[in-house]
């Protein structure tokens, strides 16, 4: 609630900044690395989503996924982020080598639910779960072009 009210009350210049998008992923990865989570980014060069809504959604999916890795992945965990586009879709994968399914069953979290809702707004899909051999993976697919059904 404080966060919502803070946005409503904000009158400084930082509140007028646009939502971050893919251009801010390097900084995001750097910030997580400083917190103890090394992040390898693999982003298709010279490509950006065709609109700011999808650009911001990609950033938020990566941000929430990495937050979950930091919270639940255990010690000495590493994360890999891959973003590419094909067939009029953007594919976002965040994988780690942490505890995997042991962290997937923790009650009280809203991260995966929030990502699912965000992806569904665009008519996309989200899969999240343990990886074979250990770790956890989040895979989101978002259509690149908004249609009347996903606006």
- CA angle 136/114/59 to nearest 5° reads 75
- pLDDT reported for residue 17: 65
**Which domains are present in the chain?**
20-150 (3.30.565.10)
pLDDT of residue 65: 96
- To the question of pTM greater than 0.85 for the whole model, the response is no
Residues 6+ apart with CB under 8 A from 67: 111
Whether the per-residue pLDDT at 119 is higher than 70: the answer is yes
User: In this structure, what token pair is assigned to residue 105?
Assistant: 């069953």
Q: Does residue 57 surpass a pLDDT of 70?
A: yes
Tell me which residue of 33, 91, 87, 32 sits closest to 57, measured CA to CA.
91
| pLDDT at residue 122 is higher than 90 | yes
pLDDT in tens, 58-68: 999 999 999 99
Please compute, for residue 140, the number of CA atoms within 13 A of its CA located in the half-sphere on the CB side.
Answer: 32
């Amino acid at each position: 609630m404080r966060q919502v009210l803070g946005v409503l009350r904000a009158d400084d210049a930082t509140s007028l900044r646009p939502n971050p998008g893919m251009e801010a992923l390097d900084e995001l990865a750097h910030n997580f690395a400083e917190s103890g989570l090394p992040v390898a980014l693999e982003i298709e060069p010279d490509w950006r989503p065709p609109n700011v809504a999808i650009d911001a959604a990609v950033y938020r999916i990566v941000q929430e996924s990495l937050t979950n890795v930091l919270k639940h992945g255990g010690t000495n965990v590493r994360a890999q982020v891959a973003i590419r586009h094909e067939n009029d879709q953007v594919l976002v994968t965040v994988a780690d080598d942490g505890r995997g399914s042991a962290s997937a069953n923790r009650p009280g979290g809203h991260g995966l639910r929030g990502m699912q809702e965000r992806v569904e707004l665009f008519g996309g899909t989200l899969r999240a779960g343990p990886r074979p051999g250990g770790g956890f993976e989040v895979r989101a697919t978002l259509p690149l072009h908004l249609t009347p059904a996903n606006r």
